[in-house]
């Protein structure tokens, strides 16, 4: 019987000098991420269904959200490219170190990350939606976010489509 591999965070890893240099992925890795996003759109969790009901169809102030989108080197639950915001839902038992690493990779390239637990969404969706609405309506300077720590690198891209 083979051992099940789990994702962890290496304590010895050194931070990259240029966050954007390794952010965008191409080739086989990008195709794998796109397929994972498609699969997640086909089989959403209850929390994802509940939150999508609130975000779909530009219901939140006319701002468009996409679900299970490839952003850089990860799949996020919801994204709003026009406001440079992603929303991630943490399932029960999620590794907080992995969540923090994923969030840091996104914030390092100027993307705002909102993270909620799935239990939080299911228990009090109205509070979660209010928090998202507040973030969406906060002023945000895309140019400053793009300059970020690495001004000469290409801007990150949001890949994926509704499905």
Mind giving me the DSSP string for 101-160?
HHHHHHHTTT-EEEEEEHHHHHH-HHHHHHHHHHHHTS---HHHHHHSS-TTSPPP-EE-
Report whether 122 contacts 65 (CB < 8 A).
no
User: What is the separation, in whole angstroms, between the first and last Cα of the chain?
Assistant: 36
Q: Is residue 73 part of a domain?
A: yes
pLDDT < 70 positions in the chain: 1-24, 142-163
Q: What's the pLDDT at 144? A: 67
Q: Is residue 147 part of a domain?
A: yes
Q: Is residue 39 part of a domain?
A: no
CA distance 11 to 106: 19
Is the pTM higher than 0.95? Answer: no
Judged by DSSP in three states, 89 sits in strand
Q: What is the CATH number of the domain that holds 142?
A: 3.40.960.10
Q: What's the pLDDT at 59? A: 84
The count of other CB atoms within 10 Å of the CB of residue 69 is 25
Give the residue numbers spanning the domain of 85.
47-159
Q: What's the pLDDT at 53? A: 94
Q: Is residue 18 part of a domain?
A: no
Q: Is residue 23 part of a domain?
A: no
Q: What's the pLDDT at 128? A: 95
Q: Is residue 1 part of a domain?
A: no
Could you tell me the two tokens for 26? 């191409």
Q: Is residue 35 part of a domain?
A: no
Q: What's the number of domains the chain is made of?
A: 1
């Amino acid at each position: 019987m083979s051992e099940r591999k789990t994702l962890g965070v290496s304590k010895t890893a050194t931070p990259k000098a240029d966050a954007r240099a390794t952010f965008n992925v191409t080739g086989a890795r990008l195709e794998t991420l796109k397929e994972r996003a498609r699969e997640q759109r086909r089989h959403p969790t209850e929390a994802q269904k509940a939150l999508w009901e609130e975000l779909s169809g530009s219901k939140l102030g006319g701002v468009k959200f996409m679900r299970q989108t490839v952003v850089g080197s990860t799949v996020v639950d919801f994204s709003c490219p026009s406001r440079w915001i992603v929303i991630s839902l943490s399932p029960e038992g999620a590794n907080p170190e992995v969540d923090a690493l994923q969030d840091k990779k996104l914030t390092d390239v100027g993307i705002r990350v909102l993270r909620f637990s799935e239990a939080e969404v299911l228990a009090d969706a109205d509070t979660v939606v209010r928090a998202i609405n507040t973030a969406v309506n906060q002023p945000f300077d895309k140019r400053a976010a793009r300059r970020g720590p690495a001004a000469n690198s290409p801007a990150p891209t949001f890949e994926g489509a509704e499905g």
